[in-house]
Chain A
Amino acid sequence: MPVNSTENKNGGQDYQEAYRAWSDFYRQMGAEGMEMFQRGMENAQRMSPMGGDNPFFRFWFNTQQDFMNRFSHGGWAEAADPEVYQKAYDSWMDTLSQNLESYMGTDEFAAQSGKGLEMLSDMKKKTGELMESYWHALHLPSAHDMRELYQKLYMMERKLDEMDRRLRDIQSAGRETAARPRAEQRTAEPVTEGPRAAAVKTAPKKPETKKSASVKTKPSKSKSTPKKAPKK
């Protein structure tokens, strides 16, 4: 039957005919497709290197089957209705999502992804080693050499930072001691825990002179104070 829907002179009959042909075609396709799909999944499951009872195949197969069932439940004509399609689609998405998430939560998935990551790490390491001999042959620094350099810089930065911090803590401990009344100084509990303890332990005991008592309480900025960005 010729399908000509451009001139719809007979009250939508052409549309109807075209639609009927379309739905017949898909019904047939659907039935065959479903059978093929089922056969394919069974074969894939059998041939899977991870064994016959693979949860991934099981969940995938169940999800697809569920979708086909929902979609064709009320017949293909009804399924073509956008609203019905939307409902079937939403429900399929939910099932797919739930099944996939439950698969992601299995030890099997965790083990497989762990193995994959190990392979990737090994590959990256081997490539690095290969490149290293190449760069060295050209008398150029390799990633490993750069790493060593970065490590040295990092250690220096940490030491500098530690020194700066100790100096600041010594300064502030000195100010606090100077600001406190003498009686309180004698009974004050020693700092034994926390990041400040080390600095306080190393702080030299200053003789209590009039000069130290006159130190201002507002912290002064040392040379190593973090750089203030210029105001815009």
Chain B
Amino acid sequence: MMQAESQSIPKQLLEMHLKNIQRFRKGLEISQNWQPKVGQTPHEVVLQEGKVRLLHYKSQTRKTYKIPLLIVFSLINRSYVLDLKPGKSIVEKLVQAGFDVYLIDWGIVGAGDQFLTLDDYINRYMYRIVEFIKEHAEVEQLSVLGYCMGGTMAAMYAALYPENVKNLLLMAAPIAYGNKGGLLELWADKQHFNVDKLVSAMGNIPPWFLQSSFNLLKPVQNMVDKYVKFYEKLEDEAFVDDFLTLEYWLNDNIPLAGPVYKQFVEDFFHKNLLVQNKLRLGDHPVNLKNIHCPVLTILAEHDHLVPPAASTPINDAVSSEEKEVIAFPSGHIGLSVSGRAMKVLWPKVAEWLGKRSS
């Protein structure tokens, strides 16, 4: 018995080596011919101001809901992760569900944008965009969905201009800081990290800096494990395409305006001002108690970037009567690209929004 088992092991090893060679060849073939097909949902640019563009997605079915939806993405990544590829696109899902969808593409910050502050983004760009949508869609109010840092911005906008927001949807949005368990908070502690020095030397925060910080949050998973898994599944064409598309997005980073980064580190990480209603954007105090509209908080249970504990305090901070939380078992990016999120989470979100968009 033992002899038979030990005989089979060298054969298994040989077969494994042969399989690896085949797999490697196949992987090379696929990746050589691979082209990114991101942002495929039909859209048009309806407004452009400097580098900021507003995309309007053409409805693929008859528009069921009158209230349009504005999607606000983070300033540190490209927004097309929300329209990654056909079948893995939140935008596509929402358009198919009958929503009139707009998305802000913040553009790529350059040297000339190194003085932009959060005040500029919220009180200038977002303000103008919303005013434009109100005219374009002929409505008085709209729903706002913010993802990650875009969620924080959406909450700030809703607190400043509550009359314009019908529904507020926050997806993995950091609202409260102060020992909420995030490593980013620890690394940005003023004991160890001199944000002034970094911003004055760099101007804008380069993408490699942000990307490496995010990679270090889960170093083994991000830098070893996922590539091993990729290698193991090289024969699965659908998996390879998904993997390469997501990698394309992950490595297609953009710089962040220095003052925005500085304000985030100081006012959010160090002082936790937003949730205490002590934050000011320019001359204007941001009071979350001004928010009275229905609020939906979408959480990723295994989010290492924005721990759920950093998102949920929004529900205690707003004055809304309707507050709901959907906790989904995924990671931060899984919320927007995983197959399960497309099948389970987004229909649920569309249903919630649909009920409040007539």
Which A residues are closer than 8 A to B by beta carbons?
12, 15-16, 18-19, 77, 80-82, 93, 96-97, 100-101, 104-105, 107, 110-111, 113-115, 117-118, 120-122, 124-125, 128, 146-147, 150-151, 153-154, 158, 161, 165, 193-195, 198, 219, 226-229, 231-232
How many angstroms between the C-alpha atoms of A12 and B192 in the bound complex? 63
Q: Is B326 an interface residue when CB atoms closer than 8 A count as contact?
A: no
Distance (whole angstroms) from the CB of B74 to the closest CB of chain A: 22
Is B161 at the interface (CB under 8 A from chain A)? yes
Q: Does B87 contact A (CB under 8 A)?
A: no
> Helix, strand, loop or mixed for chain B's interface?
helix
A-B contact pairs, 23 of them (CB 8 A): A81-B12, A82-B13, A93-B224, A97-B221, A97-B225, A101-B220, A104-B219, A110-B187, A113-B187, A117-B198, A120-B201, A121-B198, A146-B111, A150-B114, A150-B115, A154-B112, A194-B161, A226-B49, A226-B128, A227-B49, A231-B44, A231-B46, A232-B45
Q: What string of 1s and 0s marks CB contacts (under 8 Å) between B42-65 and chain A?
A: 001111110001000000000000
Q: How far is the CA of A150 from the CA of B123 in the complex (A)?
A: 20
A121 lies within 8 A of B218 (CB): no
B53, A229: Cβ atoms closer than 8 Å: yes
Contact of B114 among A82, A105, A111, A147 (CB under 8 A): A147
Look across to chain B and name the residue whose beta carbon is closest to the beta carbon of A18. B10
Do the beta carbons of A195 and B115 come within 8 Å of each other? no
CB within 8 Å of A: which B1-44 residues: 3, 6-7, 9-13, 16, 44
Q: Which residue of A lies closest to B120 (CB)?
A: A158
> Which of A12, A101, A110, A219 contacts B7 (CB under 8 A)?
A12
Q: Does B284 contact A (CB under 8 A)?
A: yes
Contacts of A118 in B (CB 8 A): 194, 197
Nearest-CB distance from B39 to chain A (Å)? Answer: 14
For the complex of A and B, 4 pairs with smallest distance between CB atoms:
A114-B192, A121-B201, A97-B220, A154-B115
Q: What's the least CB distance linking A139 to chain B, in Å?
A: 21
A229-B47 contact in complex given A93-B220, A110-B193, A113-B192, C-beta closer than 8 Å: yes
Complex contact A16–B6 (CB within 8 A): yes
- CA gap between A77 and B9 in the complex, in Å: 8
A-chain residues with CB within 8 Å of residue B16 when the two chains form the complex: 82
Q: How far is the CA of A182 from the CA of B104 in the complex (A)?
A: 41
Give chain A residues whose Cβ lies under 8 Å from the Cβ of B47.
226-229
CB neighbours (8 Å) of A96 from chain B are: 220
Contact with A along B180-208 (1 / 0, CB 8 A): 00010011010111100110111100000
